[in-house]
Structure 1
Amino acid sequence: MGDEGEKAAFSVNEQVILSIDVSTPRWFTGGTRIGRVDIPNVIAKQRNQLATNYTTRDQGQTWSHQRWEITLYPQQSGQFTIPPIAVNVQVSGEDGQSVRGTVQTAPVTFDARLPSALLTQESIWFTASEADVSQTWQSSTETLHVGDAVTRTITITAKDSLSVLLPDLMAAETGGDHAVASSRDYQAYAQPHQLSDTQTRGDYQSRRTEQTIYILQMGGDIQFPDYTFYWWDTQHQTLQTETVVGKSFHIAHTWRSWLAYYWPMLASVIISC
């Protein structure tokens, strides 16, 4: 999407690239500053802090160009208008002296919509051109006992997305970043999430890593849950489903955990006798 005022359609959460092209028939003599982009219900980021520089010739005249990129992420369905953006430039004047000035981009309108009828605003999903999920398990000892720890780490990587838009899969269990939750089988400690957004030569990559440490509180077999999420593949225009498979562990009892586990049954036997 350029800055010439055309209208385009995208998916909710899809990365929209606004290109701003600044040109002069002479040359740039100082840094160019792009004004703030503020649109309701749209996340705007200037992830690429460097412009693409190039030259063109028009009727024998050489023009120097700078192309800047602003990434936009619409958060809901609807029509959005990017207002004029102030661009502060410094170029060489006809007398060879530097001239400072401010130009305005043309307004741009685009639409965003849910890409699939299977999705709602409340669904756990994101939009990307490529995505991958990986998982690791670590335990404090090879043979687990009550009081030992199991660590579950899930990493989602995506191309042409944003780390804050990638799902927090274990939030329902722990309540979010830094949270603590407990159950009969374990106590769960959510670790600080690791969010990363990088850009290399127009290649936008995002990563979200979440980790939870489980302190085992009960012996026997413990099953950790599966997690399922969706992502809209902008490259193939299809809805993809990903499942992060859970895992079961056998936990050896201590005398105290054995008594806590079997006491209801023992008590019922004693009462019946």
Structure 2
Amino acid sequence: MRGWILLVAMMPLLALANVVSINRSDPGVEVRLELLQAGPYYVNGRLPVKLTLALDGRLWGRVALRQPGLKDALVIHDPGQEFDRDTEKQVDRPKEILTRQFEIYPRRQGTLVLAPIEMQLVYYDRPSDRYRQVTVASAPLSIDVRRPPEWPEGRQPLVTPQLTLSHSAIDAEDDLKVGDAVTLTYSIMASGVDAMLLPSLSLPELEGASQYRRPAQLQNYRNSRGEPVGRRTEQVTYIVQRPGTFTISPQRVSWWNLDHSRLESAEVAAVTWKAGGPLPPWFYRLWHQRRAQMLLFLVVLSLLSLTSLTLALKGAKGGAEERRLRRSYWRSFSRQDPLGMSRVLEAYVAGKPGGHRRLRQGLEGESLAALDAFYLWAYGTDGAPPTRAQARQLLRAVCRPESLTTAPGFSLKLNCGSQR
């Protein structure tokens, strides 16, 4: 009766004890497989396993170890790793102890069975005083795995004694414009976890910015205590396509604290930045929503701008030509040269659009009087030279656009140089 009472009292302690399996299929080799961490054991939690070979003799060469296999679990095992060797001195005969460790991360709850691990080796058997080549295996190892309490259904647990979440910052003084790139780096670091078990972050796509995500970088290393540390780094780049304010929501990672047996969360604050542009914000919104229509609008606008530029260049060229003709006209007037003045007037008439480049019939008022004075001077024998005012009136009448018509009528034919 006391034995049963003692057994019931020790059951909680037995649940926390290490799981061990021992096999002695060969008289000279003892295979021992044990979990180095006491329970309870959780899904995705790290389970360090120690494999021990005790030889009644001395190992010759290397141990050929088959990859440990466990269904529904991640087994971290380095095939190139050598066994650690030590000698256990006893009174009757010494033993050589070979040890090696690997890690298991169960992926589901329930009872998991680690299949026997086969090994081939050659050792010197002291009792028989000869070398023996044997194949040995560990005994199956059963592990009871549970989900962390309060963990949401449908999500893979993250079990670790310590986790940190960080991200890079954006300089508030950066003068961001349309077309600039904003790169953010998020990092998750957890002890006792392989990097491939760390979750991916939900980085949103932003309206008005193109998103480019680099593949996540996974790193595994050991800390000063020899414990594994996993690190997952994610980098995302946003190309700003329109001015405005952009915000990435806060990022959160939930995890089960193995040391304190409770659910915790790590969080980083939201990231916000502003971008300006040479055009108003509504233009970029229209471009993002109706790109084809905006592209057609820009093509038409470019053609109109090109036409305006061409006309402006022609106008500038015409203005220079007109200034040259005016200078020539007044030089001819100063020299009292009717032929030079007539050439300038004919050039004005020829440079105007409108049919045969004819002057309107019946120039009125002072313009007509100025033209008569010019003809008397150019063709007559006693005509006095026109005054400066008359010369100006005549030039102004010829330069006016409304003074040209396609109707037949009076035209300048001032071949008068030989008649002076």
TM-score (norm 2): 0.55
**Equivalent residue, structure 1, for 2:186:** 154
Q: In the TM superposition, what is the alpha-carbon distance from 1:60 to its structure 2 partner? A: 4.0
1:136 alignment counterpart: 168
- The SS at the match of 1:243 is strand
User: Residue 227 of structure 1 aligns to which amino acid in structure 2?
Assistant: Q
In the TM superposition, what whole-angstrom CA distance separates every residue of 1:33-92 from its partner, at most 9, and x where no partner exists? 321222221111115934333332334432221211121111111110111110222323
Aligned twin of 1:198: 221
Aligned to 2:58: 27
1:42 aligns to 2:84 (yes or no): no
- 1:118 CA drift (Å): 3.5
In structure 2, do the counterparts of structure 1 residues 244 and 199 end up closer, same or farther at CA, with 3 Å as the change threshold? same
1:231 is aligned to 2:255: yes
Q: Answer yes or no: is the 8 Å Cα contact 1:12–1:77 preserved in 2.
A: yes
Of stretches 72-81 and 193-202 in structure 1, the one that deviates more from structure 2 is 193-202
Structure 1 residue 222 and structure 2 residue 246: aligned? yes
The one-character-per-residue Cα deviations of 1:115-145 (angstroms, maximum 9, x if unpaired) are: 122332326x411122222211467x92111
Secondary structure in 1 matching 2:62: coil
Q: CA deviation at 1:256?
A: 6.6
- For 1:41 and 1:195, the matched residues in 2 are separated by 22
| Identity value in percent | 22
Q: Which runs of 5+ in 1 are unaligned?
A: 174-181, 264-273
Structure 1 residues 97, 147: closer, same or farther in 2, change over 3 A? farther
The 1:100–1:155 alpha-carbon spacing in structure 2 relative to 1, beyond 3 Å, is farther
Q: Give secondary structure in 2 for the equivalent of 1:259.
A: helix
Matches within 5 A, 1:1-273: 1-4=19-22, 9-47=40-78, 49-94=81-126, 99-122=132-155, 125-137=157-169, 142-170=174-202, 173=204, 183-199=206-222, 202-255=226-279, 257-261=281-285
What's the TM-score, normalizing by structure 1? 0.81
- The question of whether the paired residues in 2 share the 8 Å contact of 1:163 and 1:197 is answered with yes
Change (3 A) 1:246 1:51: farther
Greater Cα shift, 19-28 or 143-152: 19-28
Aligned partners of 2:286, 2:219: CA distance in 1, in Å?
A: 46
What is the count of residue pairs matched by the alignment?
253
| 8 Å CA contact 2:214, 2:235 repeated in 1 | yes
Give the Cα–Cα distance (whole angstroms) in 1 for the partners of residues 78 and 188 of structure 2: 19
Q: Which runs of 5+ in 2 are unaligned?
A: 1-18, 23-32, 288-420
RMSD: 2.8
Q: Is the 1:188–1:214 contact (alpha carbons within 8 Å) kept by the matching residues of 2?
A: yes
Return 227-236 or 198-207, whichever deviates more.
198-207
Q: Within 1, Cα distance between the matches of 2:52 and 2:146?
A: 27
Q: Which has the higher contact order (CA 8 A, sep 6+)?
A: 1
1-structure distance, mates of 2:82, 2:189 = 24
Q: Residue 147 and residue 105 in structure 1: after superposition, are their counterparts in 2 closer, same or farther (change >3 A)?
A: same
* 8 Å contact kept, 1:159–1:206: yes
Could you tell me how far apart the structure 2 residues matched to 1:96 and 1:254 are? 91
Query: What's the secondary structure of 1:61's corresponding residue?
Result: coil
**Contact between 1:44 and 1:72, CA under 8 Å: does it hold in 2?**
yes
Partner Cα separation in structure 1 for residue 213 and residue 286 of structure 2:
30
